[in-house]
Structure 1
Amino acid sequence: MAEMLQNLFQEYKKAVSQNSAAIAQFESAFRFVSYAIAGRFEDSSLLSELLYSASNLLVLFNDAIIQKASGILPSVTASQERLQSLVTVLEYVGVFIEMAAHRLYGDLGRWTAIAVVQLAKAVARFLLLVRHGVGIQTVPPLAPVDRDALLKQAGVSQKKEEPSDVISQPLSINGTSPSVIFTLKRSGKVMRTLSTAPPVNRRDWKLPGETVETPETTQEKENRKPTCLSSAQTYGECLYIFKPLVHLSSLYLFGTSSFKPWILSAGLDVSSLCLMGDTSSLNSQEKRELKRRSLMLVMYLLRSPFYDRHSKEKLLRVLRALSDTIPGLSLVMVPLMEYLPVWQQIYFYTWSS
């Protein structure tokens, strides 16, 4: 039995490394199923979140297989990789853990699970900062990799799948090779093949020949060493790391309806960004992370108790007006308005980062 499972696993690894485009489509379909079943039946939200978490973990697992198959591994120690993997997994499964704990053990179990997850993430991130010097940490620490770039660099062969509804004659647009683009028969629209589509987190509408390869999009950029932070920047990163624990402690002391936890958390976020100071010495990935944190300040408009007392009615009024005035938009806005109360009740939806 063990030998059979080992053989199946070896076959799966071979299929993933040789069919990365098809595997990516399967992952996307798996994630779509999680969206499709939400709200369809009793306990559908829990099942939907389980499938969504599983799809993210599947991407992480397949990325690891492809990296190992390519032989191009991140230049980090084993302990650093384990800590980054732990934080990434907790980011992916946090919502499901919270919902499952609430379903099984009630409100006390829910808050206990939230505290354990946030404590584990904070400890792991602090160790990454002080022991491994990772600097400004992204969320999640392990982003999806550029699979095609890895496999092409390593020379691993891929099985190509061409669409059936294409024009067969050779094409050349802006110097783009005919093997990476095709034209639809009916519309005449030029498309790229699945095998040349970049990862989801880097995907755009440009053809391969129109995308300019820059240092920020190369594998060398992904493996670039983090910037050595100054003392002030290190303190700022520590504030960001321990902010969830401070927020949870203030919720316990002052209650969920008090403005004090909201103000304290917002103050820590702003202070963390201010302590970063001049960011010109940071690499592009770190700059993007600080930009993301700055944009996440807008989330405080959607976080309770500010949302309940000030922004809820205004937001619903805007969504309702858009739904009533723009044809077809109600298909999106009505489910969104119905899901907002559920979304507000999940801690990791609103306060995870």
Structure 2
Amino acid sequence: MPLAKLTQWYEGFILNNAAQVSSIESTVRSLTYILPGRFSDADLASEALYTLLNFIGLYHDHVLHKAVGRALRSGRLSATLPDPPAINRYHRYFFEHGQKPSLYRQLSLILTLLQFSESLVEMVVRKKWGNKSKWRAVTLIELAKVACRLALINLSGKRMLLSPAYPDRELEPEAVGLLFEPAAPQPNLVDSGDSRSPGWRGSRTGLRYASISSIVDGSAGSNAGVTDYLRTKASRSESVVCPSDLVPRLTHRRLLGEYLFALRPILYVFAIRKWGRRAWLPWVISLAIESLSRLLSVSSSRKRSTGVSLGSSLELTELSRRLWLFLYYFLRSPFYERFTKPRLDRIIKRTQNKPLISLFTGILSDYQPLWESFYFYTAGS
């Protein structure tokens, strides 16, 4: 079967069996969390399966998004689409209207694929060529990720880099069938101001819009219906601003903090290769750079000219995620060997015969060799 026909058949299969495919994805993904430690090379098998699922899931997201786009343009949707997440609106804006949309999209995809596969690459290289080759591979991956991040910061007009760097799934597969169910035909009327007209359909997007006359509650000169309608469509300030304004341009200090955050992983790797992973200096240098980056990132005003406050924007979510990354320092050498590991071993030993709790601590015990042996499990990048 030619590749084009095979791809077309597979995409049709995904759309026709979206709910079942999603269920299989979730089930197999859950298995990857309990495989490590179960048999020889289980960690490699688990990581390979996890990477493959992420790649497939990314392709399925693309198939769903493309199908919904085609349906929107042809007017075949039988239900109203939910508003996409703000982060997806932001990324897709630069995919279509940025300085270099195609380059932004490609770099975002490359960065995402590297993040999905980095642990697997590290495992395979270490198993096949040894520890020295592993650190070469880690350095190359981090260099590639840093290059992507720096380029994305500049292509976005010097804005904060958000995670994930690629749009997430906007529509759950279970809902796809509901959107494409046959619906009763509606007249394709043009809004000419006639109060009897129920609405009009856009020629470019295929979306149906209510006419102003159908929104007003019937009172002559009353605009209460219009106000209520607009209020339901703009319940959050983020939903009415331009997607690029969801993340404002960075000031000089905050831009420096963003560059430091992007450079931190490769500086940490260079320090490890110079002084060793068990030395304190790489750990201290990385912590100092990350702390300085955060200090510069949160030192600016909490209110933006767009009217979107830092507390309600995508910036707050990203800053919160970065704050959690500090927990990885408890799992990195030499802090891990000196302080975290002895206490964790005592907890596991005390709870190994207790029901339920032993299941959780048993999984922790299975993951301990991974934290201790592989860089990307505790990289936080």
TM-score normalised over the length of structure 1 = 0.75
Whether 2:380 is the aligned partner of 1:346: answer no
2:43 to 45, 49, 58: 45
Question: Highest CA radius of gyration, 1 or 2?
Answer: 2
Whether 2:355 is the aligned partner of 1:333: answer no
Does the C-alpha gap of structure 1 residues 130 and 94 become closer, same or farther in structure 2, counting only changes over 3 Å?
same
Whether 2:332 is the aligned partner of 1:303: answer yes
Does the C-alpha gap of structure 1 residues 129 and 15 become closer, same or farther in structure 2, counting only changes over 3 Å?
same
Q: CA deviation at 1:264?
A: 0.4
Does the C-alpha gap of structure 1 residues 311 and 37 become closer, same or farther in structure 2, counting only changes over 3 Å?
closer
Q: CA deviation at 1:32?
A: 2.7
Cα pair 1:19 1:158 within 8 Å, conserved: no
- Whole-Å separation in 2 of the counterparts to 1:294 and 1:26: 33
Q: CA deviation at 1:58?
A: 1.2
2:8 to 4, 7, 10: 10
- Look up the SS of the partner of 1:313 in the other structure: helix
2:160 to 132, 136, 143: 136
Alignment RMSD (CA, Å)? 3.0
- Count how many residue pairs are aligned between Structure 1 and Structure 2: 296
Cα pair 2:246 2:313 within 8 Å, conserved: no
Cα-to-partner distance string for 1:314-352 (whole Å, 9 max, x where unaligned) = 22223444555x532112212322431232211000014
Which residue number corresponds to residue 61 of structure 1?
59
Cα-to-partner distance string for 1:93-132 (whole Å, 9 max, x where unaligned) = 0000000111111112111110111000000100011133
Cα pair 1:83 1:124 within 8 Å, conserved: yes
- Look up the SS of the partner of 2:376 in the other structure: helix
Does the C-alpha gap of structure 1 residues 149 and 22 become closer, same or farther in structure 2, counting only changes over 3 Å?
closer
Q: CA deviation at 1:220?
A: 8.7
Whether 2:300 is the aligned partner of 1:278: answer yes
Which residue number corresponds to residue 236 of structure 1?
257
- Whole-Å separation in 2 of the counterparts to 1:51 and 1:158: 34
Cα pair 1:250 1:261 within 8 Å, conserved: yes
Structure 1, gaps ≥5 residues long: 160-212
Which residue number corresponds to residue 274 of structure 2?
253
Cα-to-partner distance string for 1:182-208 (whole Å, 9 max, x where unaligned) = xxxxxxxxxxxxxxxxxxxxxxxxxxx
Structure 1 residues 145-164: aligned runs within 5 Å? 145-148=169-172, 156-157=179-180
- Look up the SS of the partner of 1:38 in the other structure: coil
1:34 to 32, 35, 57: 32
Structure 2, gaps ≥5 residues long: 73-88, 96-100, 183-233, 305-309
Does the C-alpha gap of structure 1 residues 41 and 86 become closer, same or farther in structure 2, counting only changes over 3 Å?
same
Does the C-alpha gap of structure 1 residues 322 and 36 become closer, same or farther in structure 2, counting only changes over 3 Å?
closer
- Look up the SS of the partner of 1:349 in the other structure: coil
